[in-house]
Amino acid sequence: MPKVSNSVCMVDRIFDMTSPLNNYFANNPQVKDAFVILSSSLIDFNLLCFAILYGLWGTTWRPIVFSASFYAIRGFLQASTILGFPEGFIWEFPGVYSVLITYVKSSDFFYSGHVGVMLFCGLYFHEHKHEWLAFYSIFCIACEAIIMVLVRCHYGIDIFGGLIFCHYLWTVSEIPARFVDKLGYKLEGENTHNKV
């Protein structure tokens, strides 16, 4: 393992590799704002698609159980370990409002909700046979990961952490969701979770 001095809080090799692009964004705020707007628009559209499908044809509390656990654990981790703002942090309001993304400067780094929520949408779409939307979610994950790192809104480890926590919590949320479903939905059978 590489050794660093005690005065260095964190070394992010992904930041090191992308520093030229971070500098370019810092020196060209209009270009940076355009990419941030694109990033937020991708999230807004993907979650809008999920909300419509789930609102009209949802048959399980699983997405609600997942969301509650995903953000509760994320909030706990962020409250217990507060990471400092990285050098080159240029996440700020780009001039266009987003429905779901806030541009408040806060050290809510680990783990990334941006990529985590996009993976959640992808998993939901895949389970319910909306393959084009699932592929769109994968595209969103790649875009979010790149933009978040380039504007230093997330450390590299936050991106991987968001994906890992999302996949794990989506998998285990099946168990409590089945219990909650019996209280709130009339299920037709064991395969209800795989229906739209």
Q: What is the DSSP letter of 6?
A: T
Two tokens, residue 95: 């001039």
Give the separation between CA 39 and CA 41, rounded to whole angstroms. Answer: 5
Give the separation between CA 69 and CA 64, rounded to whole angstroms. Answer: 9
The tens place of each residue's pLDDT in the chain, 196 residues long, gives 455 455 556 788 999 999 999 999 999 999 999 999 999 999 999 999 999 999 999 889 999 999 999 999 999 999 888 888 888 999 999 999 998 888 888 888 999 999 999 999 999 999 999 999 999 999 999 999 999 999 999 999 999 999 999 999 999 999 999 888 887 654 444 444 454 4
Q: 3-class DSSP state for residue 104?
A: coil
Residue 122's alpha-carbon distances to 44, 129, 150, in angstroms, are 14, 10, 23
Report the chain's C-alpha Rg in angstroms. 18
| Whole-prediction pTM | 0.86
Give the separation between CA 60 and CA 48, rounded to whole angstroms. Answer: 18
Whether residue 130 contacts residue 137, with contact meaning beta carbons closer than 8 Å, is answered with no
